Amino acid sequence: MYDLFAIGQIALAVLLGGILGWQRENWGKSAGPRTYALVTAGSTLFTILSLTAFDGYTAQVAAGIVTGIGFLGVGTILHKQNHIEGLTTAAGLWMAAAIGMAVGVQYFILSIASTILMFLVLQIDDHRFKKENTK
């Protein structure tokens, strides 16, 4: 019976990650629904396993998730001439992992609220905040 509940948790994580990835894809960013869904689902599964199968190692598993997503995020950051691209995508993947971990520990309201807030933050047009080139 617990397996069915865990599958439901992973399904929720896929949904939340997919929503965030859809937003990023609509803005033409490199990481889309599949990437975000995989990050949230993977984080959820690792968290569930840390609570059920790796008794006593939950903190290490959580730290491993954060570190691993950090490496994934670094792969999205590019330095082009005078500016850096991909920081928001990297931060978004990091946040997606946190949302997946929240689902894994059954903080469903927190994970849904975080997804909504992240979606709203990502909707802000960052071009409004860019400085004009003053050359």
Query: Residue 31 has what pLDDT?
Result: 83
Query: Residue 90 has what pLDDT?
Result: 87
Walk along the chain (135 residues) and give the pLDDT tens digit of each residue. 678 999 999 999 999 999 999 988 887 777 889 999 999 999 999 999 999 887 778 888 888 888 888 888 777 777 778 887 778 888 899 999 999 999 999 999 999 999 999 999 988 865 555 555 555
Phi and psi, residue 31, nearest 5° = -90, 125
Q: Is the pTM of this model over 0.75?
A: yes
Q: Where are the domains of the chain?
A: 2-123
Query: Residue 104 has what pLDDT?
Result: 96
Query: Residue 67 has what pLDDT?
Result: 87
**Residues in Cβ contact with 101 at an 8 Å cutoff, skipping those fewer than 6 apart:** 43, 44, 47, 62, 65
